[in-house]
Structure 1
Amino acid sequence: MDKSPPATIRAATPADAAGIAAVHTQSWRETYTGLIDAAFLERMTNPAARERRAASWVQTIERQLEQVFVAEQIDHLGRGEVVAFASVGPARDHADYDSELMTLYSFRRVQGQGLGKALLQAVAKAAGAGGAKNMALWVLAQNPTRGWYAAQGAREAGAKTDGDLQEIRMVWDDLAGLVG
């Protein structure tokens, strides 16, 4: 039986930036260790990178560059902790797609609680409210969450290679299927 406290899905505020950065860097370590170059992973997740990410998330949220949502759990002392987050924005390099799932990360310890699905639905609903009809994302080819996206109704629709990394485009042709 899961004894984790319930989580609240809500729009992120600039005050959430440090928590988002903590999830972002830790989930990279938990997911990508052994899958990508160790030196690159260290540069992307070290304390300096975490600080840069926090500053970047403040700007992203304040300037509304993306719509950002967090999953927050309240501990037994009443303190909130960001344990997962997701963001959506205009599609950058996905021809024929209106929106892009920019991020969806969680601590490993909260995976399997439905937070990823709830965050995915929140960003899809937000994108749809902004007029988007569909959504795409890039996922590292060897990322185990690739199958999870497929289970959420995404299909593979191409690939790109950047240096040693291959990414797969995953798409939802109709956002209504995610928010219904």
Structure 2
Amino acid sequence: MIELRPAVSADAPALARVHVQSWAETYQGLMPDGFLSGMTSQTMQERRQTLWTQTLEEGQDVVLVAVQGGEVVGFASGGPTDFAGYDAELFTLYLLKSAQGTGIGRALVRELAQALGAAGHASLLLWVLNVNPTRGFYERLGGVLIGEKTVSVRGGELREVAYGWADVGALA
């Protein structure tokens, strides 16, 4: 049984763990090794825990967790954006590999869209690495390709693409 609920400050360590572990599971071989090793290090997990603690204490973003068997196996976050034509952004959607393909991601996106819509947001966008093997998930949810950018990272560059939904209610 999966429980979806708003994240609380006590979830920060679990958010950091899932964040780092999902990077390691998803991006091996898809980005520069030096960059990936930095993003999946113990130091990065500690930084992410601090950032998640701050984010949750500030309470400005919507952050949801998916809990299975008492363990956080995924999460999503979102909030306002200033991207032209869109007023909300899905900032993060991370699932442990064991939770992928189970419907948890879809449920998190749906719940996040409902929360953002209830907060008065009309549209939604997200950025995803163009080489992310789960990129098709956003297309299956009806996302329309609306932009792309290149980001310089240690050891190379990464390309990101943006998907948008003009009506956040379509996801809810």
Interval of TM-score (by shorter of Structure 1 and Structure 2) = over 0.9
The residue that corresponds to 1:19 in the other structure is 14
Q: What TM-score do you get using the length of structure 2 for normalisation?
A: 0.95
Q: Whole-Å Cα distance in 2 between the matches of residues 84 and 63 of structure 1?
A: 21
Q: What TM-score do you get using the length of structure 1 for normalisation?
A: 0.91
Aligned 1:7-156 pairs, distance under 5 A: 7-74=2-69, 80-92=70-82, 94-156=83-145
* Deviation, structure 1 residue 112: 1.4
**Displacement over 3 Å in runs of 4+:** none
Equivalent position amino acid for 2:66 in 1: A
The residue that corresponds to 1:77 in the other structure is none
Q: Could you tell me which of 157, 164, 167 is aligned with 1:171?
A: 164
Q: How many residues align?
A: 168
Identical columns (%) = 46
Query: Tell me, what secondary structure is at the counterpart of 1:133?
Result: coil
* Deviation, structure 1 residue 65: 3.0
Over the aligned positions, Cα root-mean-square deviation in angstroms equals 0.8
Q: Whole-Å Cα distance in 2 between the matches of residues 44 and 86 of structure 1?
A: 18
Q: Whole-Å Cα distance in 2 between the matches of residues 162 and 123 of structure 1?
A: 26
Extract unaligned runs of 5+ from structure 2: none
Q: Whole-Å Cα distance in 2 between the matches of residues 125 and 37 of structure 1?
A: 36
